[in-house]
A and B are shown apart, each in its own frame.
Chain A
């Protein structure tokens, strides 16, 4: 029966391959983009959808290297001034010509109150048009990573935005939908033809995209159809049955099944996202448990003991089914400043851990609560469960508090956690991003109480240091300080896996954002 079914399926696939429908690409993932407005939501799936329709001044290739986009070249002309030469003869999908006014407008829009990209561009003082195809960006101080930051800022057409009253992104106070939520007019490789949120989004090939033959060979995909499927089992079933050509997020436990199915393949790559635990080293006392002598996490020996008690290889093999790379620092390969030497872990050694605990004054361990999300990272809750068992072996009694992400992250921000799980991705691909949020004493996601004067100083200095060698040395030093502190216990770099049809080539991207301009059907 099975063989017959496969034979029928293959025959159907072959039959389809001959027709024009092979040029469409049907794909699905768990959650749809929240909006088509390119500045309203700084969120993964939303960015993926926008990126097909809107271009940025600087694009990323499938290895995330910066390549010319709507800007053909860029260079610093003064310490705090970058000059961008814009591409000529580019048209928006509705026919408007692209020029410097659109760039100035789009940056102003990204800086507006209701934009969710303010923090990528808040170093910008002014954006000035020099001539129709030259723009100068003046920053508040020298900013060596401005090109990285603005590779997320998508360019809209000024006239179109004014015509439809969408000069700023959605404001929730107005109880209305703005035009840009379901309509888009970019310069990108695909044109939005249908936007039915949660149900179906269709895009057709932009035949006249400037990038064909310039940044990428022209794709033979003529239409991209996206339908979100919330239930993972259904998503996989639709891939197995051939209704879908590409699933962005098949569950880890189904990958073997997909690989074993004729006509399907799985692509894997390490994601720019590292999973780790944070320990509050600042509080006088733990919030959720009574421990004699105050907060044990203030003692570096306790932190090292916990680190050494985590058997990351077992987590990798059993919990993650081999789909993770054990981590020694809390950022991933591909981020500027990452080195393999830094990424070495302290060895797993429960005996040493017990001894460290005893030395620290906790020969019988202590009780603590671990806060975990259960719907955010790959197998997040299972990792925490495994950790509970491992820490029990050295005498630390952990009560696990697993909860939905919408509760977890709010609780973290209210500084209500002693011991928590967090994952961190780096959209700018520069280590500074990690330090400024997680390590600086004022970092908005630093819930560890970590406050190191030198680390703060380095974090501030690397913002404006334009000498690459000096800056790299700062990054290296900062990583060493953070690593030795053990305020974060690194776990692993997450792995992304995509499920695809054999005939489809689609380079996997470490930020989990497919670039359909690079897709090719065989």
Chain B
């Protein structure tokens, strides 16, 4: 048990280090932050002096080593663009992204699962066919097109919902929440629909195909033979068994929702981490880019680690150590 966990943790640390290295070496191609940090009047000497102050003249291995050492202490330096410590900025922006992701995930689940069940049971009805066709649109339309379309319809034409921003937020300690104000909820509607649409269609199609699969199995036939009600069969037996892969996919997708909310955040000017990152890329703001990518890697690595540990808890085969297992088999 202990050795399994330690092995996993070591692997996770290695992955983090590799991600940090790759992203850090990519920044050399992101351009020159110095040019964005001084006016056009600055002389070459001024520019050199600023480069020295930023440590951009150090050789690459030294820059990387400094980055890793600081990052281990939770320090990511000071943003070139906003002139504030990066950790503060990320902590400030995190609630916006997490609230958006949470609402989107819930939205995708509570609409995706019932619709998927419906399509799985009534596979021939015209409603299912329409839903399936529409879901294709959801999968294939790029997020920013959906976002712009929603803005055009609901903000510009109907004047119902705000086209950008988070509305009014309430500060609960360090956490800023939009859940406690009307304008906060209004502002959440369009971005969360945009972000959830892909997940929704994915869940719908997954649940549908799993339902079709399960409905063919022997135990469902047996349940029918026992004379159980449709409701008990569909929801009590079939749905429960379809949920295992759905939960796995949704769990893994939370990570990508956090990482890929970038586009939705850009379209709706949602002040989360994704927007912070995009602006950092445009400015060649290396400290923010490095911190963001490291953080995203950390989210993925931790989710994977948790999944691994959950498997360990769920799957009894992993608990038996190898020697004993071999012994029993022989």
Contact = CB atoms under 8 A, between A and B. Distances in A.
B256 interface: no
B269 A227 contact: yes
B82 interface: yes
Nearest to B158: A5
Given A238-B155, A243-B163, A175 B35 contact: no
Interface stretch (A111-119, A291-299, A346-354): A111-119
Contacts of B82: 34-35, 181, 197-198
A406 B122 CA distance: 56
A241 interface: yes
Contact of B81 (A34, A173, A241, A424): A34
Contact of A35 (B34, B83, B148, B156): B83
Given A119-B43, A238-B164, A409-B35, A177 B148 contact: no
A484 interface: no
Given A1-B157, A177-B83, A230-B278, A243 B41 contact: no
Contacts of A76: none
A2 B159 CA distance: 11
Interface in A1-28: 1-2, 5, 8-9, 12
Nearest to B151: A237
B276 interface: yes
Interface string B152-168: 10011111001111100
Interface string B66-108: 0000000001011011111100100000000000000000000
Nearest to B88: A177
Contact of B78 (A119, A172, A240): A172
B40 A437 contact: yes
Contacts of A171: 53
Nearest to A44: B39
A246 to B, nearest CB: 15
Query: Which of B155, B156, B162 has most chain A Cβ within 10 Å?
Result: B156
A41 B84 contact: no
Interface in B273-295: 275-276, 278-279, 282-284
A375 interface: yes
Given A118-B46, A231-B267, A241-B155, A172 B85 contact: no
B39 A41 contact: yes
Contact of A229 (B42, B44, B269, B284): B269
Interface residues of B, number: 57
A233 interface: yes
Nearest to A261: B156
A426 to B, nearest CB: 10
A444 B151 contact: no
A241 B37 contact: no
B30 interface: yes
Interface of A: 1-2, 5, 8-9, 12, 31, 34-35, 37, 40-43, 113, 116-120, 170-178, 181-182, 197-199, 227-231, 233-235, 237-238, 240-243, 375, 404-407, 409-410, 413, 424-425, 437, 444-445
Given A410-B31, A437-B40, 10 more contacts: A116-B39, A118-B46, A119-B43, A175-B85, A177-B85, A182-B84, A229-B269, A235-B164, A241-B162, A405-B36
Interface of B: 29-44, 46-47, 49-50, 53-54, 75, 77-78, 80-85, 88, 148, 151-152, 155-159, 162-166, 266-269, 271, 275-276, 278-279, 282-284
8 closest A-B pairs (Cβ-Cβ)?
A42-B39, A406-B31, A410-B32, A119-B41, A407-B31, A406-B284, A241-B155, A177-B84
